[in-house]
Amino acid sequence: MTYDSGVRLLAPLLTSLVVLTASPPAARAVTPADQKVRCANAYEQAQRTRNEGHLLSSRAHLLVCTEDSCPAVLRTECIKWLGEVDQAMPTVLIVADVGGKEVADVAVRVDGKPLLESLDGKALPIDPGTHTFRFVRAGSAPIEQTVLIREGEKRRPLVVSFAAPNAPPPPAPERPKVSSSSVPAATWVLGGVGVIALGVSAPLYISAYGQKSTLDADPCAAAGTCDPERASAVKRRFAFGDVAAVIGVAALGGAALVWLTTPSTPVAAGIAPLPGGIAGTFRVAF
C-alpha cells in the first residue's frame, strides 16, 4: 500500500472516530466536540490540498490540526506532515534594481493577486508550478516574468531590473542675447532708407533702359534727327537711378557703421521727391 493511498484510507476512519466519540454541542459556543470536528476537517483538507500541489493551503490546514486541542492521534500525524510540507515548499527571493542600484519600493503580484507592497529581503514561500510575477514601481514601466517554480526549490532568485530614468540633456551653452536696445535706432532708420532707396533705383533703371532701347530702335537715332528732349529724359532717369542707388548703398553702409561702432553716433538721413526726380540726404556726426 502506498503512502497516499494509506492516508486516503486512514483519514476518513480517523474523522469518523473523532466525530463518533464527540459529545453533541449544547450551545453555539465552541465545545471540545466542535474542536475535534474542526481538527478532523483540517486533517482531511491538509492531505487533499497537499496532493493537489497547494502546499501553502495544506500548511495552513496542518497548523490547525497540530494545535494542542486536537486529538493526539491527529496531531501526531499533522506534525509529521507539516515538516514534510515545509521541506517541499519552494521559496523565492526577489531582488530589484534601477540602473544597477538596488531598490525596495516595488510592489509584487503573483497570478493577479497581491503578494507584497514592498520588498523586505525575505524569502517568500510559494506553491510549486508556473506563476506569473508582476513587478510595479512608481515612475517605471511594470515588468512581468513567468517562472516555473519546482517543489523543494529554496531561495530561488528572481531578479528584476527597471530601466533608469532618462537623464536630462546637458543645458545648451547660452548664446549672447541681443536685445532690441543693443541695436541703435539710427541703424534701423538707415537700413530702412537704404532698402527703400535701392527699391526706387531698380524701376528707374528698368524704365531708363526701356526708353533707351526704344530710342535706339527709332530710325531717327541713325539719322540723328531724334527730339533732344527724348534723349534728355532717358539721361535723367539714369541719373535718378544712380542717385537712388548711391543713397541706398550709403544708407546701408551708414547703418552697418553705426551698429559696429557706437550706438550713440547721431545719424540723420532722408529721401524726398523732387520735380522730375528724388533727393536724398545722409549726415553722420563724429
Distance between CA atoms of 53 and 129, rounded to whole angstroms? 8
CB 193 within 8 A of CB 269: yes
* 85 touches 55 (CB < 8 A): yes
Partners of residue 157 on adjacent β-strands: 93
Residue 62 has pLDDT above 60, yes or no: yes
Structure confidence at residue 239 (pLDDT)? 78
Cα–Cα separations (whole angstroms), residue 14 to 20, 113, 261: 10, 36, 111
* 253 vs 279, more confident: 253
- For residues 159 and 236, is the Cβ–Cβ distance under 8 A? no
Percent of the chain with pLDDT over 70: 70
Q: Which of 15-29, 53-67, 167-181, 245-259 has the lowest mean pLDDT?
A: 15-29
Q: Which of 31-45, 58-72, 236-250 has the lowest mean pLDDT?
A: 236-250
Look at residue 30 in the predicted model and tell me its pLDDT.
67
Q: Mean per-residue pLDDT for 81-104?
A: 94
- C-alpha to C-alpha distance for 266 and 258, rounded to whole angstroms: 9
Do 142 and 135 form a contact (C-beta atoms < 8 A)?
yes
The answer to whether 217 and 167 are in contact (CB under 8 A) is no
202 vs 117, more confident: 117
Give the pLDDT confidence score for residue 91 in this predicted structure. 96
pLDDT in tens, 227-246: 777 777 777 777 776 777 77
Residue in the block written with cell 486529538: 71
Confidence of residue 286 (pLDDT cuts 50, 70, 90): very low
Q: Are strands 91-98 and 113-116 parallel, antiparallel or unpaired?
A: unpaired
pLDDT digit string, tens, across residues 133-144 = 999 999 899 999
Confidence of residue 180 (pLDDT cuts 50, 70, 90): very low
